[in-house]
Amino acid sequence: MLRHFDAAEVTVGPVMRASQLLTDPFLIGRQSLVGMPDPGAGVLPMHNVVPRLSHTPGGLCDAAPALGQHTRELLGELGLSPDDIETLFQEGVAA
């Protein structure tokens, strides 16, 4: 089947299950997935940066922040005092 696409110079690839992506030799070779540490789940596979350029390839450095991880900092930058921020947390408004 793929020979028809090859003959027509059409770029194609297989449809895979998520579990197959982790063991596919092509994806492994291209470093399409990278393991990112997550405090709650261990190491999670994430899609790498696209495109990866030869002189400035980029890369992932951190997993997404936890829910509310930066709330105090952001509320402070918005001008709320530490006491006001603490009140929001105590009242369940902020998390």
Taking only the tens place, the pLDDT of each residue in 69-87 is 999 999 999 999 999 999 9
Q: Measured between alpha carbons, how far is 89 from 71 in angstroms, rounded to an integer?
A: 10
Quote the pTM value: 0.58
Closest-CA residue to 87 (of 72, 68, 65): 72
Question: Can you say how many angstroms the Cα of residue 39 is from the centroid of all Cα atoms in its chain?
Answer: 14
* pLDDT, position 52: 83
Question: Can you say how many angstroms the Cα of residue 4 is from the centroid of all Cα atoms in its chain?
Answer: 35
* pLDDT, position 72: 96
**Tell me: the pLDDT tens digits for 5-64?**
999 999 998 899 988 999 999 999 988 999 998 888 899 899 999 888 889 888 888 878
* pLDDT, position 10: 94
